[in-house]
Amino acid sequence: MVICDPELTVGMPRIITAGTGMDAFAHCLEAYSSPHYHPMSQGIALEGMRLVKENLPQAYADGADLEARANMMSAAAMGATAFQKGLGAVHALSHPVGAVYNTHHGMTNAVVIPPVLKLNRPEIEHKIEKAAAYLGIEGGFDGFYDYVMALRIDLGVPDKLSGLGVGRDRIEALTEMALADPSCGGNPVKLTNENVQQLFQDCI
């Protein structure tokens, strides 16, 4: 049994509101982008992204806004439902970074989303265009990318992993761990030693 009571989230610090909210967004985005077949998850992921878009800035601005908190709680539950369809490189990178550097999971995801979107663009552009249309974002893939960048700024997300204390000295070990992560299998572009190392370079 799960009890989703938004009143329990009212006291969350802003930085945790931002991080957990971006984790919910990352779950929906990665599930939506995954090539695996699961139409129900696809729909849940899309609506989950809409709930984040329309409620996370407000939950961040006013932590006592119960409507925004309730919608974010739904988005979080929906993201976790949707990701049975798969996750991808955002989580494959974020898991080892969190393990080695003790960074916040959702905040780490938020930092790595843009370079992963760029890597996956050839495989997901058509899907992201549809998502952008549903979310009321103009400009297709580029508009969606710009929306994510703006959301990160609004929520105080660092631009690079170096802003979370991650250095370039352990990229090879992080790459090895990322390639062993179960999330790899859901990434739209096949992950290799070469492109994961490059992703870490771009993210740091």
Residues found near Fe ion in the complex (CB under 5 A): 23
Nearer residue to Fe ion within complex by CB, 66 or 148: 148
- Angstrom distance (rounded) from CA 26 to CA 31: 8
Q: Is the dihedral of CA 52, 97, 176, 122 positive or negative?
A: positive
CB of 132 to Fe ion, least distance (A): 22
Cα gap 39→56, rounded to integer Å: 25
- Shortest distance (Å) from residue 95 CB to Fe ion: 9
Residue 19 or 65 with smaller CB distance to Fe ion:
19
Our CB check for Fe ion shows the closer of 23 and 181 to be 23
Closest approach of Fe ion to the CB of residue 133, in Å: 26
Shortest distance (Å) from residue 27 CB to Fe ion: 6
Q: Which is nearer to Fe ion, 87 or 133 (CB)?
A: 87
The residue among 93 and 122 lying less far from Fe ion, judged by its C-beta, is: 93
Closest residue (Cβ) to Fe ion?
Answer: 23
DSSP count for the chain of H helices, then E strands: 8, 0
CB closer to Fe ion out of 36 and 168: 36
Rounded Cα gap, residues 83 and 123, in angstroms: 18
What does residue 107 show for φ and ψ, rounded to 5 degrees?
-65, -40
- What gap in Å lies between CA 58 and CA 193, rounded to an integer? 39
Cα 16-20-24 angle, rounded to 5 deg: 165
Question: What's the min distance (Å) between Cβ of 87 and Fe ion?
Answer: 7
Q: How would DSSP label each residue in 8-42? A: GGTT--HHHHHHHHHHHHHHHHHHHH--S--HHHH
CA angle 89, 151, 10 (to 5 degrees): 100
Closest separation in Å from C-beta 128 to Fe ion = 19
